[in-house]
Amino acid sequence: MSQVELALFLESAVRLGIPLALAAMGETITERSGVINIGIEGSIIAGALGGSLGAIAFGGAGLGVAFGALTGLLVAFVFAVFAIGLGADQIITGTAVTIGGLGMTGALYQVVFGVNGMELSVPMLAPAAIPWLSDIPVIGSALFAQAPTAYFAYVMAPLAWYVLFKTAWGLELRATGEAPVAAEAAGVRVRAVRFSATLFGGAMAGIAGAHLALAHAGAFAENMSAGKGFIAIAVVALGRWNPIIVLFAALFFGGASALQFLLQALGFDLAYQIFLAFPYILTLAALAGWVGKSQAPAALALPWEPNR
């Protein structure tokens, strides 16, 4: 592989990894509070539609991303009301929210744009190369000539890590996810913490969706989230519930996906399904090999009823 080819491959890897990184980082915070929101798939697709509609309405992709974050947050709010407010089973609620999100965005899209869709008319979030950094050989253009949402992910990873592990608020959040009873006894408002962590996760998934539509594809299409929410949940485990490792895990998964497209394009004579399975097999191997004894928050997915 020449240096140019390697650079092109890495660019593709980062492009495929960024939406996963954004969604997985949000989900990391949500899961750290003891809530597993498998409805982020619904937030991603809602963010993709909201982002597209926002970008068209406001005539700019930047505001579109903000609008995408808001729609992702709203979907997570529905999840939070049932799963946290009413203490419903998180997996069932998350499934319902995902199915509802996919169906509702499809219906809304058809109402707004008719059966012919919006085609390729969304304002795009153009890549913005960072001077100097993007000139680094091989990795420079891959990491630093991306859409602004990618830089947002790079900044969010250490920031989320800092808040999670170095601040009082982060300690309360982790306590809520590890031992809600003790946290409550210490005066932490468990539900409020879980609620806000879930909304944050939804907003991040919304940004991931907006990134897919505005920075990557240049279009919204029904079902375009294509299971990325579920992959993001695997990425959270792969990243050991640590925002910085999660960023690298997402890029690793992006790299595996990019590699399988490249291998197919190079004409390796193997059933394509084997290539398609490649990122998942790598992830499984990594999960089994180095996550080892899982460090999931102890109270993950357990509904919480305040002690009255």
Partner 1 sequence: MKKKAMKIGNGYMSQLKLQPLAAALIWVTTACVGQGSDTPESDFRAALLTAGPVTDVGWYAGGYAGLMMIEDSMGASVSHQQTATPAEFDEAFIAYASSGYGIIFAHGNEYQDAAIRAGQEFPDVTIVVSGGGRVSPNVVPLIFRLEEGSYLAGVTAAYVTESKVVGMVGGVEIPPARGAFLAFEAGVHAVDPEIEVLQVYTGDWDDLAAAKEATVAQLSQGADVIIHNLDNASLAVFQAVREVVEEGRVAYAIGMNSDQNELAPEVVLGSVVIRIADAFHTTAQMWQEGNVGGAPIYANTEQGVIEFVINPMLRDRLSDEELERISSTKALIRAGEIDVPRVVFVEGEPEDH
Q: Is the Cβ–Cβ distance between 215 and 56 less than 8 Å? A: no
Q: How far is the CB of 116 from partner 1 (least distance, A)?
A: 6
Q: How far is the CB of 230 from partner 1 (least distance, A)?
A: 13
Distance, CA of 308 to CA of 306 (rounded, Å): 6
In this structure, how many other beta carbons lie within 10 angstroms of the beta carbon of residue 287?
15
- Residue (244 or 251) nearer to partner 1, CB: 251
Cα angle for residues 223, 42, 35 (degrees, 5° grid) = 150
Q: How far is the CB of 291 from partner 1 (least distance, A)?
A: 25
Q: How far is the CB of 82 from partner 1 (least distance, A)?
A: 6
- Residue (103 or 158) nearer to partner 1, CB: 103
Q: How far is the CB of 190 from partner 1 (least distance, A)?
A: 18
Q: Is the Cβ–Cβ distance between 159 and 165 less than 8 Å? A: no
- Residue (118 or 291) nearer to partner 1, CB: 118
Measure Cα distances from 179 to 129, 196, 226, 302 in Å: 44, 18, 34, 11
Largest CA distance in the chain: 66
Residues engaged in binding partner 1 (CB under 8 A): 5, 8, 12, 15-16, 19, 78, 82, 86-89, 91-93, 95-96, 99-100, 102-104, 106-107, 109-110, 113, 115-117, 119-120, 212, 216-219, 221-224, 226-228, 257-258, 261-262, 264-267, 272-273, 276, 303
Distance, CA of 219 to CA of 284 (rounded, Å): 32
Helices vs. strands in the chain: H and E counts, helices first: 12, 0
Q: How far is the CB of 182 from partner 1 (least distance, A)?
A: 24
- Residue (60 or 100) nearer to partner 1, CB: 100
- Residue (110 or 167) nearer to partner 1, CB: 110
Cα angle for residues 260, 263, 269 (degrees, 5° grid) = 115
Distance, CA of 270 to CA of 134 (rounded, Å): 36
- Residue (8 or 188) nearer to partner 1, CB: 8
Distance, CA of 43 to CA of 274 (rounded, Å): 30
